[in-house]
Structure 1
Protein backbone atom coordinates (compact mmCIF):
# COMPACT_ATOMS: atom_id res chain seq x y z
CA UNK A 1 0.00 0.00 0.00
CA UNK A 2 1.36 3.43 -0.95
CA UNK A 3 2.32 5.68 1.98
CA UNK A 4 0.03 8.65 2.75
CA UNK A 5 0.72 11.84 0.82
CA UNK A 6 2.18 14.57 3.02
CA UNK A 7 0.74 18.04 2.43
CA UNK A 8 2.67 21.15 3.43
CA UNK A 9 0.48 23.90 4.80
CA UNK A 10 1.05 27.43 3.53
CA UNK A 11 2.04 30.09 6.07
CA UNK A 12 -0.74 31.04 8.43
CA UNK A 13 -2.99 33.95 7.47
CA UNK A 14 -4.75 35.96 10.15
CA UNK A 15 -8.46 35.41 9.66
CA UNK A 16 -10.60 38.51 9.30
CA UNK A 17 -13.30 38.97 11.92
CA UNK A 18 -16.20 40.89 10.44
CA UNK A 19 -18.50 42.23 13.12
CA UNK A 20 -22.17 42.55 12.22
CA UNK A 21 -25.43 43.67 13.76
CA UNK A 22 -27.56 41.82 11.22
CA UNK A 23 -28.71 39.20 13.72
CA UNK A 24 -31.59 39.34 16.17
CA UNK A 25 -32.13 36.66 18.82
CA UNK A 26 -35.52 36.77 20.46
CA UNK A 27 -36.86 34.35 23.05
CA UNK A 28 -40.23 32.83 22.22
CA UNK A 29 -40.99 32.75 25.94
CA UNK A 30 -39.20 32.33 29.26
CA UNK A 31 -36.85 29.47 30.17
CA UNK A 32 -38.45 26.38 31.70
CA UNK A 33 -36.71 23.74 33.85
CA UNK A 34 -35.96 20.29 32.47
CA UNK A 35 -37.43 18.50 35.50
CA UNK A 36 -39.88 19.49 38.25
CA UNK A 37 -38.29 21.79 40.80
CA UNK A 38 -40.59 20.55 43.54
CA UNK A 39 -38.70 17.29 44.07
CA UNK A 40 -36.07 17.21 46.81
CA UNK A 41 -33.24 17.12 46.09
CA UNK A 42 -33.58 18.57 42.60
CA UNK A 43 -31.60 16.40 40.14
CA UNK A 44 -28.68 18.26 38.57
CA UNK A 45 -25.88 17.36 36.18
CA UNK A 46 -22.39 16.60 37.48
CA UNK A 47 -20.90 20.08 37.09
CA UNK A 48 -17.37 18.64 36.81
CA UNK A 49 -18.42 16.41 33.94
CA UNK A 50 -21.44 17.93 32.17
CA UNK A 51 -22.85 16.30 29.01
CA UNK A 52 -21.01 17.49 25.90
CA UNK A 53 -23.99 17.28 23.54
CA UNK A 54 -27.20 17.16 25.59
CA UNK A 55 -29.47 18.42 22.80
CA UNK A 56 -30.48 17.02 19.41
CA UNK A 57 -33.01 18.83 17.21
CA UNK A 58 -34.93 17.13 14.41
CA UNK A 59 -36.52 19.47 11.88
CA UNK A 60 -37.85 16.42 10.05
CA UNK A 61 -39.86 15.25 13.07
CA UNK A 62 -40.36 18.75 14.55
CA UNK A 63 -38.97 17.34 17.76
CA UNK A 64 -36.28 17.90 20.38
CA UNK A 65 -34.32 15.27 22.30
CA UNK A 66 -33.00 16.50 25.67
CA UNK A 67 -30.60 14.92 28.16
CA UNK A 68 -31.26 15.22 31.89
CA UNK A 69 -29.43 13.78 34.92
CA UNK A 70 -31.48 10.56 34.90
CA UNK A 71 -31.68 9.92 31.13
CA UNK A 72 -33.16 11.77 28.19
CA UNK A 73 -36.58 12.77 26.86
CA UNK A 74 -38.25 13.23 23.50
CA UNK A 75 -40.66 16.14 23.08
CA UNK A 76 -42.43 17.93 20.28
CA UNK A 77 -40.90 21.33 19.56
CA UNK A 78 -44.34 22.97 19.51
CA UNK A 79 -45.17 21.70 23.01
CA UNK A 80 -41.91 23.10 24.43
CA UNK A 81 -42.53 26.49 22.80
CA UNK A 82 -46.06 26.62 24.22
CA UNK A 83 -44.74 25.80 27.72
CA UNK A 84 -42.15 28.55 27.35
CA UNK A 85 -44.83 31.06 26.34
CA UNK A 86 -46.98 30.02 29.31
CA UNK A 87 -44.02 30.69 31.63
CA UNK A 88 -43.72 34.22 30.23
CA UNK A 89 -47.45 34.95 30.50
CA UNK A 90 -48.17 33.32 33.85
CA UNK A 91 -44.82 33.70 35.60
CA UNK A 92 -44.51 31.57 38.72
CA UNK A 93 -48.13 30.50 38.28
CA UNK A 94 -46.88 28.22 35.50
CA UNK A 95 -45.26 25.08 36.91
CA UNK A 96 -44.73 23.26 33.63
CA UNK A 97 -41.30 21.82 32.88
CA UNK A 98 -39.85 20.10 29.83
CA UNK A 99 -40.67 16.69 31.29
CA UNK A 100 -44.37 17.64 31.31
CA UNK A 101 -44.17 18.09 27.53
CA UNK A 102 -42.26 14.95 26.68
CA UNK A 103 -43.67 12.00 24.75
CA UNK A 104 -41.07 9.56 26.05
CA UNK A 105 -38.69 9.76 29.02
CA UNK A 106 -35.96 7.15 28.73
CA UNK A 107 -33.97 6.19 31.86
CA UNK A 108 -30.25 6.32 31.02
CA UNK A 109 -28.20 7.91 33.84
CA UNK A 110 -25.02 9.66 32.76
CA UNK A 111 -26.04 10.29 29.16
CA UNK A 112 -23.47 12.65 27.64
CA UNK A 113 -24.19 12.71 23.89
CA UNK A 114 -27.39 12.61 21.82
CA UNK A 115 -26.65 12.35 18.08
CA UNK A 116 -29.22 12.00 15.28
CA UNK A 117 -28.34 10.10 12.12
CA UNK A 118 -28.10 12.22 8.94
CA UNK A 119 -31.63 11.21 7.88
CA UNK A 120 -33.04 11.84 11.42
CA UNK A 121 -34.25 8.21 11.64
CA UNK A 122 -32.01 6.99 14.49
CA UNK A 123 -30.90 8.61 17.73
CA UNK A 124 -27.65 7.45 19.31
CA UNK A 125 -27.54 7.98 23.08
CA UNK A 126 -24.10 7.62 24.70
CA UNK A 127 -23.69 7.10 28.45
CA UNK A 128 -20.33 6.08 29.88
CA UNK A 129 -19.09 3.18 27.76
CA UNK A 130 -22.54 2.27 26.39
CA UNK A 131 -24.17 3.45 23.15
CA UNK A 132 -27.89 2.79 22.65
CA UNK A 133 -29.74 3.27 19.37
CA UNK A 134 -33.40 4.33 19.23
CA UNK A 135 -35.82 4.80 16.38
CA UNK A 136 -36.64 8.53 16.43
CA UNK A 137 -40.22 7.90 15.30
CA UNK A 138 -40.71 5.31 18.07
CA UNK A 139 -39.52 7.78 20.70
CA UNK A 140 -42.23 10.18 19.53
CA UNK A 141 -45.05 7.63 19.53
CA UNK A 142 -44.20 5.19 22.34
CA UNK A 143 -43.54 6.42 25.88
CA UNK A 144 -41.92 3.08 26.72
CA UNK A 145 -39.66 2.96 23.64
CA UNK A 146 -36.80 0.47 23.85
CA UNK A 147 -33.43 0.68 22.08
CA UNK A 148 -33.33 -1.17 18.77
CA UNK A 149 -29.69 -2.13 19.42
CA UNK A 150 -26.71 -1.22 21.56
CA UNK A 151 -22.95 -1.66 21.81
CA UNK A 152 -20.28 -1.01 24.39
CA UNK A 153 -16.66 0.05 24.54
CA UNK A 154 -14.23 -2.50 25.88
CA UNK A 155 -12.74 -2.16 29.34
CA UNK A 156 -13.45 1.03 31.26
CA UNK A 157 -13.54 3.34 28.24
CA UNK A 158 -15.87 6.34 28.13
CA UNK A 159 -17.32 7.83 24.95
CA UNK A 160 -15.90 11.27 24.15
CA UNK A 161 -17.37 11.73 20.66
CA UNK A 162 -19.63 9.92 18.21
CA UNK A 163 -19.97 10.52 14.46
CA UNK A 164 -22.27 8.91 11.91
CA UNK A 165 -20.65 7.79 8.64
CA UNK A 166 -22.27 5.97 5.73
CA UNK A 167 -25.96 6.89 5.56
CA UNK A 168 -27.21 3.61 4.12
CA UNK A 169 -25.43 1.14 6.41
CA UNK A 170 -25.73 3.30 9.56
CA UNK A 171 -21.98 3.03 10.11
CA UNK A 172 -20.32 5.24 12.72
CA UNK A 173 -17.06 6.01 14.51
CA UNK A 174 -16.56 6.41 18.25
CA UNK A 175 -13.78 8.29 20.02
CA UNK A 176 -12.99 7.21 23.57
CA UNK A 177 -11.75 9.71 26.17
CA UNK A 178 -8.43 7.86 26.35
CA UNK A 179 -7.91 8.47 22.60
CA UNK A 180 -9.00 5.10 21.22
CA UNK A 181 -10.85 5.42 17.89
CA UNK A 182 -13.28 2.63 17.01
CA UNK A 183 -15.70 1.97 14.17
CA UNK A 184 -18.94 0.04 14.03
CA UNK A 185 -22.39 -0.32 12.52
CA UNK A 186 -25.84 -0.74 14.06
CA UNK A 187 -26.43 -4.29 15.24
CA UNK A 188 -22.71 -5.07 15.22
CA UNK A 189 -19.87 -4.72 17.70
CA UNK A 190 -17.08 -2.15 17.72
CA UNK A 191 -13.69 -2.64 16.08
CA UNK A 192 -10.66 -0.70 17.31
CA UNK A 193 -8.95 1.40 14.62
CA UNK A 194 -6.14 3.36 16.29
CA UNK A 195 -4.97 4.96 19.53
CA UNK A 196 -3.95 8.43 20.76
CA UNK A 197 -6.50 10.32 18.66
CA UNK A 198 -7.44 13.82 19.89
CA UNK A 199 -10.46 14.65 17.71
CA UNK A 200 -12.30 13.25 14.68
CA UNK A 201 -14.94 14.11 12.08
CA UNK A 202 -16.07 12.94 8.65
CA UNK A 203 -17.01 14.69 5.43
CA UNK A 204 -20.72 15.20 4.79
CA UNK A 205 -21.03 12.06 2.67
CA UNK A 206 -19.25 9.97 5.29
CA UNK A 207 -16.76 8.67 2.71
CA UNK A 208 -13.64 10.17 4.32
CA UNK A 209 -12.52 10.75 7.89
CA UNK A 210 -10.33 13.51 9.34
CA UNK A 211 -8.61 13.05 12.68
CA UNK A 212 -5.89 14.78 14.66
CA UNK A 213 -3.00 13.04 16.40
CA UNK A 214 -0.04 14.82 18.01
CA UNK A 215 -0.92 18.06 16.18
CA UNK A 216 -1.10 16.38 12.80
CA UNK A 217 -4.24 16.35 10.67
CA UNK A 218 -4.78 13.05 8.87
CA UNK A 219 -7.38 12.05 6.28
CA UNK A 220 -8.54 8.47 5.83
CA UNK A 221 -10.79 6.71 3.34
CA UNK A 222 -13.97 5.04 4.63
CA UNK A 223 -12.04 1.74 4.91
CA UNK A 224 -9.48 3.56 7.14
CA UNK A 225 -6.61 3.71 4.67
CA UNK A 226 -4.56 6.87 5.19
CA UNK A 227 -4.66 9.17 2.16
CA UNK A 228 -2.83 12.30 3.27
CA UNK A 229 -1.55 14.11 6.34
CA UNK A 230 -0.39 17.60 7.26
CA UNK A 231 1.34 19.10 10.31
CA UNK A 232 -0.71 21.86 11.95
CA UNK A 233 0.80 25.34 12.32
CA UNK A 234 0.54 27.46 15.47
CA UNK A 235 3.02 30.33 14.87
CA UNK A 236 0.40 33.04 15.42
CA UNK A 237 -0.38 31.76 18.91
CA UNK A 238 3.07 32.59 20.27
CA UNK A 239 4.69 35.85 21.27
CA UNK A 240 8.34 36.48 22.10
CA UNK A 241 7.95 35.08 25.61
CA UNK A 242 6.32 31.85 24.45
CA UNK A 243 7.97 28.63 23.43
CA UNK A 244 6.86 26.80 20.35
CA UNK A 245 7.11 23.65 22.43
CA UNK A 246 4.08 24.78 24.47
CA UNK A 247 1.49 22.08 24.88
CA UNK A 248 -1.32 22.59 22.39
CA UNK A 249 -4.11 20.07 21.96
CA UNK A 250 -6.75 19.82 19.25
CA UNK A 251 -10.13 19.99 20.94
CA UNK A 252 -12.49 19.47 18.01
CA UNK A 253 -12.64 19.06 14.22
CA UNK A 254 -15.45 20.09 11.90
CA UNK A 255 -15.29 19.03 8.23
CA UNK A 256 -17.73 21.71 7.13
CA UNK A 257 -17.24 21.54 3.34
CA UNK A 258 -15.37 19.30 0.92
CA UNK A 259 -12.59 21.88 0.71
CA UNK A 260 -12.69 23.26 4.28
CA UNK A 261 -11.92 21.78 7.68
CA UNK A 262 -12.29 23.79 10.90
CA UNK A 263 -9.98 22.91 13.80
CA UNK A 264 -10.43 24.13 17.38
CA UNK A 265 -7.41 24.01 19.72
CA UNK A 266 -6.72 24.69 23.39
CA UNK A 267 -3.39 25.63 24.95
CA UNK A 268 -2.49 23.82 28.18
CA UNK A 269 -0.55 25.59 30.93
CA UNK A 270 2.01 23.96 33.24
CA UNK A 271 -0.79 22.66 35.47
CA UNK A 272 -2.50 21.07 32.47
CA UNK A 273 -5.42 23.51 32.53
CA UNK A 274 -6.84 24.98 29.34
CA UNK A 275 -6.23 28.66 28.59
CA UNK A 276 -7.21 30.39 25.38
CA UNK A 277 -8.92 28.95 22.33
CA UNK A 278 -7.63 29.00 18.76
CA UNK A 279 -9.75 28.35 15.67
CA UNK A 280 -8.17 27.50 12.32
CA UNK A 281 -9.93 27.16 8.98
CA UNK A 282 -7.89 24.98 6.63
CA UNK A 283 -8.92 25.36 2.99
CA UNK A 284 -7.73 23.02 0.28
CA UNK A 285 -6.19 24.40 -2.88
CA UNK A 286 -8.67 22.35 -4.92
CA UNK A 287 -12.17 20.92 -4.63
CA UNK A 288 -11.18 18.40 -1.95
CA UNK A 289 -8.22 17.67 0.32
CA UNK A 290 -7.53 14.27 -1.18
CA UNK A 291 -7.53 15.42 -4.82
CA UNK A 292 -5.61 18.70 -4.67
CA UNK A 293 -1.85 18.86 -5.23
CA UNK A 294 -1.50 22.50 -4.09
CA UNK A 295 -0.80 23.67 -0.54
CA UNK A 296 -3.82 24.19 1.72
CA UNK A 297 -4.21 27.69 3.19
CA UNK A 298 -4.63 28.20 6.95
CA UNK A 299 -6.76 31.04 8.35
CA UNK A 300 -6.12 31.49 12.07
CA UNK A 301 -8.38 33.16 14.66
CA UNK A 302 -6.65 33.68 18.02
CA UNK A 303 -8.66 33.64 21.27
CA UNK A 304 -11.85 33.14 19.32
CA UNK A 305 -13.96 32.34 22.40
CA UNK A 306 -13.05 34.91 25.02
CA UNK A 307 -15.99 33.96 27.24
CA UNK A 308 -14.77 30.46 28.15
CA UNK A 309 -13.75 30.59 31.81
CA UNK A 310 -12.65 27.76 34.09
CA UNK A 311 -15.29 28.65 36.67
CA UNK A 312 -18.03 28.43 34.01
CA UNK A 313 -16.89 25.47 31.90
CA UNK A 314 -14.55 22.95 33.56
CA UNK A 315 -11.30 22.18 31.80
CA UNK A 316 -11.17 19.04 29.68
CA UNK A 317 -14.88 18.54 29.02
CA UNK A 318 -14.80 19.62 25.34
CA UNK A 319 -15.37 19.73 22.50
CA UNK A 320 -15.90 23.48 22.81
CA UNK A 321 -16.23 23.91 19.05
CA UNK A 322 -19.73 22.89 17.93
CA UNK A 323 -20.58 23.68 14.32
CA UNK A 324 -24.07 22.22 13.82
CA UNK A 325 -25.55 25.59 12.96
CA UNK A 326 -23.38 25.76 9.84
CA UNK A 327 -25.44 22.96 8.31
CA UNK A 328 -28.42 25.31 8.16
CA UNK A 329 -26.58 28.57 7.44
CA UNK A 330 -24.33 27.10 4.73
Structure 2
Protein backbone atom coordinates (compact mmCIF):
# COMPACT_ATOMS: atom_id res chain seq x y z
CA UNK A 1 0.00 0.00 0.00
CA UNK A 2 1.44 3.37 -0.99
CA UNK A 3 2.11 6.02 1.63
CA UNK A 4 -1.03 7.99 2.28
CA UNK A 5 -3.30 5.44 0.61
CA UNK A 6 -5.58 5.09 3.64
CA UNK A 7 -5.79 8.85 4.07
CA UNK A 8 -6.58 9.32 0.40
CA UNK A 9 -9.33 6.70 0.55
CA UNK A 10 -10.90 8.31 3.62
CA UNK A 11 -10.79 11.82 2.17
CA UNK A 12 -12.34 10.63 -1.09
CA UNK A 13 -15.16 8.56 0.39
CA UNK A 14 -15.89 10.18 3.78
CA UNK A 15 -17.82 13.27 2.68
CA UNK A 16 -20.86 13.73 4.90
CA UNK A 17 -22.27 13.36 8.41
CA UNK A 18 -20.00 11.57 10.91
CA UNK A 19 -17.68 10.56 8.09
CA UNK A 20 -17.08 14.22 7.23
CA UNK A 21 -16.71 15.08 10.92
CA UNK A 22 -13.97 12.45 11.15
CA UNK A 23 -12.01 14.06 8.31
CA UNK A 24 -12.53 17.58 9.68
CA UNK A 25 -11.36 16.54 13.15
CA UNK A 26 -8.29 14.74 11.80
CA UNK A 27 -7.31 17.69 9.61
CA UNK A 28 -7.85 19.98 12.60
CA UNK A 29 -5.56 17.73 14.68
CA UNK A 30 -2.85 18.03 12.00
CA UNK A 31 -3.21 21.82 11.80
CA UNK A 32 -2.95 22.08 15.57
CA UNK A 33 0.35 20.18 15.57
CA UNK A 34 1.65 21.96 12.47
CA UNK A 35 1.06 25.28 14.24
CA UNK A 36 3.27 24.17 17.11
CA UNK A 37 0.55 22.75 19.32
CA UNK A 38 0.72 19.85 21.76
CA UNK A 39 -1.97 17.19 22.12
CA UNK A 40 -3.41 15.21 25.00
CA UNK A 41 -5.33 12.03 24.19
CA UNK A 42 -7.78 10.60 26.70
CA UNK A 43 -8.79 6.93 26.71
CA UNK A 44 -12.04 5.70 28.20
CA UNK A 45 -13.94 2.48 27.49
CA UNK A 46 -11.92 -0.61 26.66
CA UNK A 47 -9.67 0.83 23.98
CA UNK A 48 -6.63 -1.20 25.03
CA UNK A 49 -8.55 -4.46 24.83
CA UNK A 50 -9.73 -3.24 21.41
CA UNK A 51 -5.97 -3.16 20.61
CA UNK A 52 -5.86 0.54 19.88
CA UNK A 53 -2.19 0.28 20.77
CA UNK A 54 -1.47 -0.85 17.21
CA UNK A 55 -2.09 2.71 15.97
CA UNK A 56 -1.69 4.73 19.18
CA UNK A 57 1.84 3.46 19.80
CA UNK A 58 2.93 4.80 16.42
CA UNK A 59 1.28 8.15 17.23
CA UNK A 60 3.38 8.28 20.39
CA UNK A 61 6.59 7.27 18.62
CA UNK A 62 6.10 9.96 15.99
CA UNK A 63 5.44 12.70 18.55
CA UNK A 64 1.78 13.18 17.65
CA UNK A 65 0.82 12.80 21.34
CA UNK A 66 2.39 14.75 24.20
CA UNK A 67 0.33 13.39 27.12
CA UNK A 68 -2.30 10.75 27.85
CA UNK A 69 -5.07 10.56 30.40
CA UNK A 70 -6.62 7.11 30.75
CA UNK A 71 -8.56 4.86 33.04
CA UNK A 72 -6.69 2.31 35.11
CA UNK A 73 -8.32 -0.36 32.96
CA UNK A 74 -6.82 1.01 29.74
CA UNK A 75 -3.41 1.33 31.38
CA UNK A 76 -3.30 -2.27 32.57
CA UNK A 77 -5.20 -3.89 29.70
CA UNK A 78 -2.58 -2.80 27.18
CA UNK A 79 -0.05 -4.89 29.13
CA UNK A 80 -2.52 -7.74 29.69
CA UNK A 81 -2.70 -8.00 25.90
CA UNK A 82 1.08 -7.75 25.61
CA UNK A 83 1.75 -10.76 27.84
CA UNK A 84 -1.32 -12.94 27.25
CA UNK A 85 -2.59 -12.24 23.72
CA UNK A 86 -2.47 -15.89 22.64
CA UNK A 87 -4.72 -16.87 25.54
CA UNK A 88 -7.47 -14.36 24.79
CA UNK A 89 -10.71 -15.73 23.39
CA UNK A 90 -13.09 -13.91 21.09
CA UNK A 91 -16.84 -14.51 21.42
CA UNK A 92 -18.47 -13.23 18.20
CA UNK A 93 -21.93 -14.39 19.38
CA UNK A 94 -21.69 -12.49 22.69
CA UNK A 95 -25.20 -11.07 22.33
CA UNK A 96 -26.60 -14.60 22.49
CA UNK A 97 -24.85 -15.68 25.70
CA UNK A 98 -27.09 -16.94 28.49
CA UNK A 99 -26.39 -16.35 32.19
CA UNK A 100 -25.23 -19.97 32.28
CA UNK A 101 -22.77 -19.28 29.45
CA UNK A 102 -21.42 -16.32 31.41
CA UNK A 103 -21.04 -18.49 34.51
CA UNK A 104 -19.08 -21.02 32.48
CA UNK A 105 -16.69 -18.26 31.38
CA UNK A 106 -16.26 -17.22 35.01
CA UNK A 107 -15.43 -20.76 36.04
CA UNK A 108 -12.70 -20.80 33.37
CA UNK A 109 -11.38 -17.45 34.69
CA UNK A 110 -12.22 -15.72 31.42
CA UNK A 111 -13.26 -12.12 32.02
CA UNK A 112 -15.48 -10.88 29.18
CA UNK A 113 -15.29 -7.39 27.63
CA UNK A 114 -18.04 -7.42 24.99
CA UNK A 115 -16.69 -9.93 22.43
CA UNK A 116 -13.29 -10.51 24.02
CA UNK A 117 -12.37 -12.59 27.07
CA UNK A 118 -9.28 -11.68 29.10
CA UNK A 119 -7.62 -14.72 30.73
CA UNK A 120 -7.12 -14.06 34.43
CA UNK A 121 -4.13 -16.31 35.11
CA UNK A 122 -2.07 -15.51 32.03
CA UNK A 123 -2.86 -11.77 31.96
CA UNK A 124 -3.85 -10.39 35.34
CA UNK A 125 -1.86 -12.61 37.67
CA UNK A 126 1.21 -12.48 35.44
CA UNK A 127 1.28 -8.69 35.60
CA UNK A 128 0.47 -8.76 39.31
CA UNK A 129 3.58 -10.85 39.96
CA UNK A 130 5.81 -8.20 38.39
CA UNK A 131 3.96 -5.32 40.04
CA UNK A 132 4.05 -6.71 43.58
CA UNK A 133 7.85 -6.82 43.34
CA UNK A 134 7.92 -3.13 42.43
CA UNK A 135 5.27 -2.15 44.98
CA UNK A 136 6.95 -3.90 47.90
CA UNK A 137 10.44 -2.69 46.95
CA UNK A 138 9.23 0.91 46.81
CA UNK A 139 7.28 0.47 50.05
CA UNK A 140 10.32 -0.87 51.88
CA UNK A 141 12.51 1.94 50.50
CA UNK A 142 10.00 4.60 51.47
CA UNK A 143 9.54 5.60 47.82
CA UNK A 144 6.28 6.59 46.12
CA UNK A 145 5.30 6.46 42.45
CA UNK A 146 2.23 6.94 40.30
CA UNK A 147 0.47 3.89 38.79
CA UNK A 148 1.91 4.52 35.31
CA UNK A 149 5.39 4.98 36.77
CA UNK A 150 5.21 1.55 38.38
CA UNK A 151 4.31 0.06 34.99
CA UNK A 152 7.15 1.97 33.35
CA UNK A 153 9.48 0.42 35.95
CA UNK A 154 8.11 -3.06 35.22
CA UNK A 155 8.63 -2.58 31.47
CA UNK A 156 12.15 -1.21 31.89
CA UNK A 157 13.09 -4.05 34.23
CA UNK A 158 12.55 -6.57 31.43
CA UNK A 159 10.69 -8.94 33.76
CA UNK A 160 7.77 -9.28 31.37
CA UNK A 161 9.77 -9.72 28.17
CA UNK A 162 9.82 -13.56 28.33
CA UNK A 163 6.01 -13.44 28.24
CA UNK A 164 5.53 -11.02 25.34
CA UNK A 165 3.00 -12.48 22.90
CA UNK A 166 2.64 -9.52 20.54
CA UNK A 167 5.23 -7.28 18.96
CA UNK A 168 5.97 -4.67 21.67
CA UNK A 169 5.78 -1.96 19.01
CA UNK A 170 1.99 -2.53 19.16
CA UNK A 171 1.84 -1.68 22.87
CA UNK A 172 1.08 1.95 23.57
CA UNK A 173 2.31 1.67 27.17
CA UNK A 174 5.68 0.35 25.97
CA UNK A 175 5.89 3.27 23.52
CA UNK A 176 4.93 5.70 26.29
CA UNK A 177 7.58 4.24 28.60
CA UNK A 178 10.22 4.63 25.90
CA UNK A 179 9.27 8.31 25.52
CA UNK A 180 8.71 8.77 29.28
CA UNK A 181 5.38 10.26 28.21
CA UNK A 182 3.34 12.09 30.87
CA UNK A 183 0.38 9.85 31.73
CA UNK A 184 -2.44 10.70 34.13
CA UNK A 185 -4.62 7.90 35.53
CA UNK A 186 -7.52 9.31 37.57
CA UNK A 187 -9.54 6.81 39.56
CA UNK A 188 -6.88 4.10 39.25
CA UNK A 189 -8.46 2.44 42.29
CA UNK A 190 -11.30 1.40 39.99
CA UNK A 191 -9.16 -1.11 38.10
CA UNK A 192 -8.01 -4.70 38.43
CA UNK A 193 -4.49 -3.72 39.49
CA UNK A 194 -5.94 -1.11 41.85
CA UNK A 195 -8.00 -3.85 43.50
CA UNK A 196 -4.90 -6.05 43.67
CA UNK A 197 -2.99 -3.25 45.38
CA UNK A 198 -5.77 -2.76 47.94
CA UNK A 199 -5.68 -6.48 48.64
CA UNK A 200 -1.94 -6.48 49.27
CA UNK A 201 -2.35 -3.48 51.57
CA UNK A 202 -5.13 -5.25 53.49
CA UNK A 203 -2.93 -8.33 53.78
CA UNK A 204 -0.20 -6.22 55.36
CA UNK A 205 2.30 -6.92 52.58
CA UNK A 206 2.44 -3.19 51.80
CA UNK A 207 2.72 -1.03 54.90
CA UNK A 208 2.12 2.43 53.43
CA UNK A 209 -1.05 2.62 51.37
CA UNK A 210 0.29 5.86 49.85
CA UNK A 211 3.20 4.05 48.17
CA UNK A 212 1.07 4.36 45.03
CA UNK A 213 0.35 8.04 44.53
CA UNK A 214 -3.26 9.01 43.85
CA UNK A 215 -5.65 11.31 42.05
CA UNK A 216 -5.13 14.63 43.87
CA UNK A 217 -1.40 14.38 43.28
CA UNK A 218 -2.09 13.52 39.65
CA UNK A 219 -4.12 16.74 39.34
CA UNK A 220 -1.30 18.75 40.89
CA UNK A 221 1.27 17.28 38.50
CA UNK A 222 -1.15 17.81 35.59
CA UNK A 223 -1.54 21.46 36.59
CA UNK A 224 2.23 21.94 36.61
CA UNK A 225 2.53 20.19 33.23
CA UNK A 226 -0.25 22.29 31.72
CA UNK A 227 1.18 25.58 32.99
CA UNK A 228 4.69 24.82 31.73
CA UNK A 229 3.62 23.33 28.40
CA UNK A 230 1.16 26.11 27.64
CA UNK A 231 3.97 28.67 27.88
CA UNK A 232 5.23 27.42 24.51
CA UNK A 233 2.39 25.38 22.98
CA UNK A 234 -1.35 25.56 22.57
CA UNK A 235 -2.61 22.30 24.10
CA UNK A 236 -5.27 20.25 22.33
CA UNK A 237 -7.66 17.68 23.78
CA UNK A 238 -8.57 14.55 21.83
CA UNK A 239 -11.12 12.61 23.85
CA UNK A 240 -11.96 8.98 23.14
CA UNK A 241 -15.17 8.06 24.95
CA UNK A 242 -16.41 9.85 28.06
CA UNK A 243 -16.01 9.26 31.76
CA UNK A 244 -13.25 10.15 34.16
CA UNK A 245 -10.43 9.80 31.62
CA UNK A 246 -11.75 12.95 29.92
CA UNK A 247 -13.62 14.66 32.76
CA UNK A 248 -10.55 14.76 35.05
CA UNK A 249 -7.93 16.39 32.82
CA UNK A 250 -10.18 18.88 31.03
CA UNK A 251 -11.01 20.43 34.40
CA UNK A 252 -7.41 21.51 34.99
CA UNK A 253 -8.03 24.77 33.11
CA UNK A 254 -11.02 26.04 35.14
CA UNK A 255 -9.21 24.86 38.29
CA UNK A 256 -6.21 27.01 37.39
CA UNK A 257 -8.44 29.96 36.49
CA UNK A 258 -10.86 29.85 39.39
CA UNK A 259 -9.09 28.11 42.26
CA UNK A 260 -5.52 29.22 41.57
CA UNK A 261 -6.55 32.69 40.34
CA UNK A 262 -4.56 32.25 37.11
CA UNK A 263 -6.75 33.83 34.40
CA UNK A 264 -3.61 34.17 32.27
CA UNK A 265 -3.53 30.42 31.57
CA UNK A 266 -4.88 29.67 28.07
CA UNK A 267 -7.81 27.32 27.59
CA UNK A 268 -7.55 24.15 25.52
CA UNK A 269 -6.68 25.07 21.93
CA UNK A 270 -8.41 22.18 20.13
CA UNK A 271 -11.15 19.79 21.16
CA UNK A 272 -12.49 16.59 19.65
CA UNK A 273 -14.56 13.84 21.19
CA UNK A 274 -15.38 10.44 19.73
CA UNK A 275 -18.45 9.13 21.50
CA UNK A 276 -21.64 7.19 20.91
CA UNK A 277 -23.21 8.70 24.03
CA UNK A 278 -26.25 10.80 23.17
CA UNK A 279 -27.08 14.14 24.74
CA UNK A 280 -29.76 13.59 27.36
CA UNK A 281 -30.77 14.86 30.78
CA UNK A 282 -27.54 15.62 32.62
CA UNK A 283 -25.37 13.49 30.33
CA UNK A 284 -21.87 14.92 30.40
CA UNK A 285 -20.38 12.32 28.09
CA UNK A 286 -22.97 13.23 25.49
CA UNK A 287 -22.75 16.98 25.98
CA UNK A 288 -21.90 19.03 22.91
CA UNK A 289 -18.54 20.86 23.02
CA UNK A 290 -20.15 24.31 23.34
CA UNK A 291 -21.37 23.43 26.82
CA UNK A 292 -17.72 23.40 27.89
CA UNK A 293 -17.46 27.11 27.12
CA UNK A 294 -19.73 27.81 30.11
CA UNK A 295 -17.31 25.90 32.36
CA UNK A 296 -14.26 27.82 31.21
CA UNK A 297 -12.69 24.83 29.46
CA UNK A 298 -12.96 25.96 25.83
CA UNK A 299 -13.10 29.36 24.15
CA UNK A 300 -15.66 30.57 21.64
CA UNK A 301 -13.08 30.24 18.85
CA UNK A 302 -11.56 26.90 19.94
CA UNK A 303 -11.80 24.42 17.03
CA UNK A 304 -14.40 21.90 18.22
CA UNK A 305 -15.39 18.54 16.75
CA UNK A 306 -17.58 15.65 17.81
CA UNK A 307 -17.71 12.31 16.01
CA UNK A 308 -20.70 10.24 17.08
CA UNK A 309 -19.51 6.74 16.32
CA UNK A 310 -17.65 3.68 17.57
CA UNK A 311 -14.17 4.77 18.71
CA UNK A 312 -12.66 1.37 17.87
CA UNK A 313 -13.50 2.16 14.21
CA UNK A 314 -12.98 5.92 14.19
CA UNK A 315 -9.80 6.50 16.22
CA UNK A 316 -7.46 4.41 14.00
CA UNK A 317 -8.81 6.23 10.93
CA UNK A 318 -8.17 9.64 12.49
CA UNK A 319 -4.68 8.49 13.44
CA UNK A 320 -4.11 7.28 9.86
CA UNK A 321 -4.75 10.79 8.56
CA UNK A 322 -2.58 12.39 11.23
CA UNK A 323 0.23 9.94 10.38
CA UNK A 324 -0.25 10.35 6.61
CA UNK A 325 -0.80 6.61 6.27
Question: Where on the TM-score scale, by shorter chain, does this alignment land: which range?
Answer: under 0.3
Which structure shows the bigger proportion of residues in strand conformation?
A: 1
Of structures 1 and 2, the one scoring higher in RCO (CA 8 A, sep 6+) is 2
Which structure shows the bigger proportion of residues in helix conformation?
A: 2
Q: Look at both structures and tell me which one has the larger radius of gyration over its CA atoms.
A: 1
